[in-house]
Amino acid sequence: MAHKVEKTFRFVIVGGGIAGVTCVEQLSSQIPSAEVALITAGPHIKAVTNYKQVSKVLEEFDVEERPSSVLEEKFPNLTVIHSAVKSLHTQSHSVETADGRVFGYEKLCLCSGGRPKLLTQENPYVLGIRDTDSAQEFQKRLSKAKRIVVVGNGGIALELVYEVEGCEVIWAVKDKAIGNTFFDAGAAQFLIPSLEADKPERAAPCKRPRYTTEEPAAGASQTFTADRNSRGRNSGPTEPGSALGPDWHEGIALRGAEQVSRRVSVEYQCEVEKIFTSEELLDSQQQTLRPENVGSWPVYIQLTNGKTFGCDFVVSATGVVPNTEPFLHGNNFARADDGGLRVDDHMMTSELDVYAAGDVCTACWEHSPLWQQMRLWTQARQMGWYAGRCMAAHVLSEPIELDFCFELFSHITKFFNYKVVLLGKFNGQGLGPDHELLVRCTKGREYVKVVLSGGRMVGAVLIGETDLEETFENLILNQMDLTPYGEELLNPNIDIEDYFD
Ligand SMILES: Cc1cc2nc3c(=O)[nH]c(=O)nc-3n(C[C@H](O)[C@H](O)[C@H](O)COP(=O)(O)OP(=O)(O)OC[C@H]3O[C@@H](n4cnc5c(N)ncnc54)[C@H](O)[C@@H]3O)c2cc1C
Ligand SMILES: NC(=O)C1=CN([C@@H]2O[C@H](COP(=O)(O)OP(=O)(O)OC[C@H]3O[C@@H](n4cnc5c(N)ncnc54)[C@H](OP(=O)(O)O)[C@@H]3O)[C@@H](O)[C@H]2O)C=CC1
């Protein structure tokens, strides 16, 4: 390594997203005397606000982007370094940043998040959405667009197709139903009419009005223009910021160039065959297009169902890959099949004194039968918090056990303006044919699905204001035999809370 170690910290955390910041907070409160460094590529850090423990495992919170000075003021022993980590040297316990500085560590936690797994790299007509910059780019391009194609069937696609207005949306999904990462076909059927109906007026005002392309007010201390410049100087222009999260679209107008409100057509069971520019299309003389269509759009997408659509651009909402390249080269990290850094039940990677948390890692301990990893905000917070506790316990030589939050999967979110709660094996994940489903559905109001295995509740999907989450969480956690109750379990005329008191 060319440079000299500038300073050695007891704890170094890489990444100012929710996992990294929560880890820093945990370490700094547990061992206030320890010197901690947070090294992050993005200009802002993410902070959890309005945290609410809804029940034993369900939690809700808002997320805000903040200047890092807020964190440094709170924790005097914390130093925030705004530069990307360029290389890691596990042998010498040091990291080198893009601006050429070298820092030593006693214990390191990698929280570098993920980046969009795009359909194709380097195609200017294929966009991914991950951080503030990519959301702004999307908004800018959308404002001039008449038609876009959204590919993917997970969280981002579900949000976009509902939110985008003033632009025709073609939604290409691999599956027979929408929202495969969160729902089964029954829930999809419940949700589909919302795509055709007008959107209800938003009740709540925007909580995080930051995603704007307007020039900042004079004298504003944190602005995107200034941030972008400083990021270019310190970290290189391609370094990712933290992932967006709950309600990211509430602060930006997702409006296209047309007068129409929402217009979405779903193309089921298809993938992308090819993406062409207009010129490439004319050259290849594609037979599948009507001749008058050729040349009228900047880009064309051919699907495996034989259809080709012209559009202004394609959104690749096709998942994330853990952010490990290229700065982890030259080390021997064990990786999981999804590319994540394998971590054990103490959030430790295969490299000595290196921990990982959030989207960058893959939980490789033996999971509780009711938990699975999903790359979500809540899990980033829980993992960051637990990694901090493990790092502190290890330096203090204290024992520590896997936290209770990893006992039961839980997620609260909103899709198509409905509250959505997912618990346990909500889609019967890994249960094989040996499970039973109970469903209650009232069109336009609620969809309740319970997954039973051996007569015990192992998962649930609750859409709408069902008020069942706490009771179901208890029933899942206590694994009571529900066979005697049969379908009565979902009888709307029974107050289930009283039933199990
Ligand atoms: C559009 C969108 C909507 C979402 N909506 C929801 C939702 O409603 N609910 C939900 O639960 N989840 C949601 N998610 C997922 C959620 O945002 C992520 O799971 C979570 O933010 C991951 O947190 P993290 O801290 O692991 O990573 P990130 O937030 O990605 O943070 C990674 C950090 O590492 C930094 N970094 C990267 N490389 C380096 C490097 N080499 N050196 C230094 N720093 C580096 C980055 O600048 C960033 O600060 C959404 C994601 C997206 C993209
Ligand atoms: N409200 C919430 O909770 C939200 C959460 N998020 C999170 O943010 C992250 C990014 O979201 P997103 O990008 O939607 O990722 P998701 O993992 O949620 O969904 C990706 C989708 O793309 C599909 N897919 C993958 N590769 C292809 C391909 N080549 N062609 C067509 N389809 C493909 C996947 O299918 P398959 O599963 O079959 O591979 C899946 O349906 C995720 O971790 C997500 O959980 C995002 C927005 C909202």
More confident residue, 234 or 98: 98
**16: Cβ below 6 Å to ligand 1?**
yes
CA-wise closest residue to 224 among 255, 256, 251, 202: 251
Of the chain, the percentage scoring pLDDT greater than 90 comes to 71
Give this complex's ipTM.
0.98
223 pLDDT more than 60: no
Cα separation of 484 and 501, whole Å?
16
> DSSP label at 360?
G
Indicate which atom in ligand 1 lies nearest the CA of residue 44: 49
* Least trusted range by pLDDT, from 30-34, 68-72, 357-361: 68-72
Measured in Å, residue 179 CA sits from the centre of ligand 2 at 9
Mean pLDDT of 81-95: 97
Residue 84 contacts by C-beta under 8 Å, 6 or more apart in sequence? 41, 97, 98, 234, 235, 236, 239, 327
- Domains of the chain are 7-113+323-406 (3.50.50.60), 116-198+242-319 (3.50.50.60), 417-499 (3.30.390.30)
For the purposes of burial, counting CB atoms within 10 Å of the CB of 16, is it exposed (0-12), middle (13-18) or buried (19 or more)? buried
**248: Cβ below 6 Å to ligand 1?**
yes
* Least trusted range by pLDDT, from 59-63, 224-228, 406-410: 224-228
Of the chain, the percentage scoring pLDDT greater than 70 comes to 87
Token reading at 135: 């959301």
Residue with tokens 């910021």: 241
Cα separation of 483 and 455, whole Å?
5
100 pLDDT more than 50: yes
Q: Per mean pLDDT, which of 82-91, 255-264, 278-287 is the most reliable?
A: 82-91
Measured in Å, residue 288 CA sits from the centre of ligand 1 at 40
How far does Cα 449 stand from its chain's mean position?
A: 24
Residue 326 contacts by C-beta under 8 Å, 6 or more apart in sequence? none
Cα separation of 75 and 73, whole Å?
6
* Least trusted range by pLDDT, from 178-182, 232-236, 428-432: 232-236
pLDDT digits (tens, 9 = 90+) for 403-460: 999 999 999 999 999 999 999 999 999 888 889 999 999 999 999 999 999 999 999 9
Indicate which atom in ligand 2 lies nearest the CA of residue 272: 30
pLDDT at res. 136 = 92
Ligand 2 atom 4, closest CA? 155
Mean pLDDT of 211-219: 32
Q: Predicted confidence band at 202 (pLDDT cuts at 50, 70, 90)? A: low
pLDDT at res. 224 = 22
Model pTM?
A: 0.91
pLDDT at res. 339 = 96
Mean pLDDT of the chain: 87
The answer to whether residues 154 and 309 touch, using CB atoms and an 8 Å cutoff, is no
Measured in Å, residue 441 CA sits from the centre of ligand 2 at 26
The answer to whether residues 21 and 38 touch, using CB atoms and an 8 Å cutoff, is yes
117 pLDDT more than 80: yes
Measured in Å, residue 116 CA sits from the centre of ligand 2 at 9
31 pLDDT more than 70: yes
* Three-class secondary structure assignment of 411-428: EEEEECCEEEEEEECCCC
Measured in Å, residue 216 CA sits from the centre of ligand 2 at 33
> DSSP label at 255?
B
Mean pLDDT of 320-344: 95
Q: Which helix or strand (DSSP H or E) is residue 53 part of?
A: strand 45-53
Q: Predicted confidence band at 244 (pLDDT cuts at 50, 70, 90)? A: confident
pLDDT digits (tens, 9 = 90+) for 338-394: 999 999 999 999 999 999 999 999 999 999 999 999 999 999 999 999 999 999 999
The edge-to-edge listing of strands for the beta sheet with 299-303 is: 272-277, 299-303, 308-311
According to DSSP, the residues that pair with 272 across neighbouring strands are 303
pLDDT at res. 293 = 64
232 pLDDT more than 50: no
> Maximum CA pair distance of the chain?
73
pLDDT at res. 285 = 58
How far does Cα 255 stand from its chain's mean position?
A: 23
pLDDT at res. 362 = 98
Token reading at 246: 């709950």
Indicate which atom in ligand 1 lies nearest the CA of residue 83: 43
**319: Cβ below 6 Å to ligand 1?**
no
User: CB within 6 Å of ligand 2 — which residues?
Assistant: 119, 151-157, 159, 174, 180-181, 271-272, 317-320, 374-376, 413
pLDDT at res. 231 = 32
* Least trusted range by pLDDT, from 101-115, 173-187, 286-300: 286-300
pLDDT at res. 237 = 41
Q: Predicted confidence band at 204 (pLDDT cuts at 50, 70, 90)? A: very low
